[in-house]
Each structure stands twice: as structure tokens, then as C-alpha cells.
Amino acid sequence: MTAGYNTISMGTGRKEFNPKKVRPGIEHYIKEAGQGVVNQIGGAEKIDESVVGNFMAARFNNQAHLGGFVGTIDPALEFKPSLSVEGACGSGGLSLISGIRSVLAETADVVLAIGVEVQNTVKAIYGADVLAGAGWYANRKKGHAYFFPGQFSDRAGVYYEKYGYDYARKGMARWFVNAMENARLDSTAQEHHNNVADLEGLYHKMKPNGASFVDHLNVLDCSKVSDGASGIAIVSEEGLKRIGVDKKDAVEIVGFAQLTRNITQDPPDMVELTTIKKAAAAALKSAGITIDQVGTVETHDCFSIAGVLAVEALGLAAPGKGAEYVAEGKTARNGVMPMNTTGGLIGWGHPTGGTGVHQAVTIWQQLTGKAGSAQIQLSAERPYGLTINMGGDDVTVVAIVYKRG
């Protein structure tokens, strides 16, 4: 993968965001992200096919058939293969997997992968209903009004009961602080303008309140409602020569896995992200490495508890020890395992279908030294990056292992 590009993650938190003003539509974001990639690879004529990952444009924007918008990026992309893929919040990851499989199948040498979502089009409570489609909608009436915060609130509640409320909140607070501090270093992040002095104090001041939100999470535990898109080129070695990009400016895909659990069933264990655990293990096995050889991780922190549980699912900490691992600073940008170095979903933003591609762009930036102010130092002994993109409540998971080119 190479030539990554992110639009701004737009929404509350950005100084220029105004919910009362007309904002760009989904076609704008597809075009900007696509052109951001095209301009780095010497022209759209070098692209063989395109894949757009998106979750709910049909409801947020009354627009389906997103593959048809690829031609707006550049006339050279018209009358070439293009399709859209959907897997809830994992849609961006599925666009990456689709491109990887095309390259491995030798049906394409250069694939443009885009992830996009424009969802600041409805009020929050209506958006919650749209996003509930990432779960089994038949359970909608039995769930919380804020369906997905309710799902992960339930997970947090079980974690509190099993391991302790104050203990868990300490780790979740540190996850939030890391997200804000990292987002401040990326000019495209939704929380880039965040200047709160006492982030941890703010977090603990906002106690979870089921009467106003959900029982076990506050709004700071939640990812952002975001408009945005990311793009990246997935290429074979022959494709890399075609686009004139040196290997040092690319990352090699050395392992991947895409797993899906039964959406109609409850999670097998409320304090384990089982699909993430299985997908990450499979991706690492296919790469022939262990988690200890990974230098940085981008994980799907739709909620702070998801970040804590991902730490445990990846085997970085034993069950129940994830909150401690985070609280001790081990996932901070200068920690043992830097995670979500541009803010993740809580800090950078969560344009739902775009997140998986944004994660890949961040890993590409970090492994090639292109992360700017957000750059971390990676050791030669740990040259790998890992992305975990999750759709729904641990239903669809895409895990990809990357290595410096």
C-alpha cells in the first residue's frame, strides 16, 4: 500500500464545523480522497480498478451505488471496474481486503481503495437509529435509544462488575486522554483543535448517567459522528513500478484475516472481543510473527471500553488487565505499544465506512516516516504495524499486518 490520503474528519470539535450551514456531500469526499491518491501515483490512468467502502449512504445521504462516483475523481477512471462494499463500521477494511484479493488474484496491479461516510445529516437520535443497522435490527426495540452506545455500555457494565468500576474507569480515562493528545498532532483530526488543559479531570467529572445517556459510559467514551474519507493505493510489485513509487515509500502487506460472527447471536463473552481476538491471531499467524514484533497498532475504539478490550484480545494484557495496561501508559505514543497515534475513532473521528482505510493510511504514514507531527519512533526489531477494523459489535473484523517496504 502507498499514497495514502485523508480528508479532514469533519464534525463537532472542528472550529470550521457549523451544523446549521450547508456542508459538502458524499461525492465531494470521494473525489477529494481519490484525487489525493491519484496525485501521488502519477495519474488515474495507472489504476486498474476501484473499491469504495461505505456503510449507510443510502440512509444518511439518500444515495446508493457509490461505485458510480469513482468516475468523478478523474475521467480516466470511467469505464473501469468499480464497486462498493459494506460491512457496517468495517466497510473501509472490506474495501482494503477487496483490493488485496484482486492483486493476489492477479486481476489488478493497482487498486484504489476508498472509505467514506457523511453522517452529520440528521440529529443524533435519528443517527443512532441509522447506526443501529450495524447490529441486528430486530433487536432495535429491545435496545437502548442510543443503540450502539447501549451495546458497549452493557459490555462496560459487566467489566466494572467483574474487575471494579474505579479500576476500569482509570484505564478508560487514559484511553480518552491519549486519543485527544494524539489528535492534536494531526491537522486532519476532528479533535485537532481540542485545547482542554485537564483532560483526565474533565473525563472523571462526567459521570455515566443512564437518565441522560447510557448507564456505564459518558459521551467522552464515544467515537465521533464524522464526515470524511480516506484513500490508499493497493499495488503489486509490478504496480509499484508502474506508478513510479519506491519501496521505501510503501508498506508491504504480510498478513491479513477477515472474520465474521453470527449477527443474530449475543457476544459469546461480554468482556471479550472474540472476533477481534480470532482475526488478529489469524492475521499474525499468516504473517509469521507474534504481537511482540508489532511496533504500532490502529484499533477500532468506537468506545473507550472497546480499546481496553482490544488490548486484551490482542494478547497484550491478560483478561481483566487491559485497563491497567492502558492506565500505565503502555498504549501512549511513547509507550510499549503505541496505539491509535493520530487519535483513533475517539480523537481523529469515525466516518463510519471510512475508518478502516484511515487506519491503513495512519500505519502507512508511521512506517514510512510520513506522519509529520504525529510521527512516533519505531525500532528496527519491531518493524510491523497492525490494523483492526470492526463492524458492529465485534461482528465483522478485518485485521491486516504491514511491514516497512
- Domain layout of the chain by residue ranges: 2-122+225-246, 135-222+250-404
Helix (H) or strand (E) holding 388: strand 384-391
What's the pLDDT at 143? 81
Query: Which three cell numbers mark 3?
Result: 499514497
Determine the CATH number of domain 135-222+250-404.
3.40.47.10
**Dist CA 220 CA 173 (whole Å):** 9
Helices and strands counted in the chain (H then E): 13, 9
| Greatest distance between any 2 Cα atoms in the chain | 58
- Say yes or no: do domains 2-122+225-246 and 135-222+250-404 share a fold: yes
What's the pLDDT at 257? 98
- pLDDT tens across 185-207, in order? 999 999 999 999 999 999 999 99
**Dist CA 318 CA 311 (whole Å):** 9
* Strands (DSSP E) found in 290-358: 294-298
- pLDDT tens across 23-45, in order? 999 999 999 999 999 999 999 99
CATH architecture assignment, domain 2-122+225-246 = 3-Layer(aba) Sandwich (3.40)
The list of the chain residues with pLDDT below 70 reads none
What's the pLDDT at 142? 84
Helix 147-163 vs helix 304-313: crossing angle, to nearest 10 = 60
Reported pTM: 0.98
End-to-end CA distance of the chain: 9
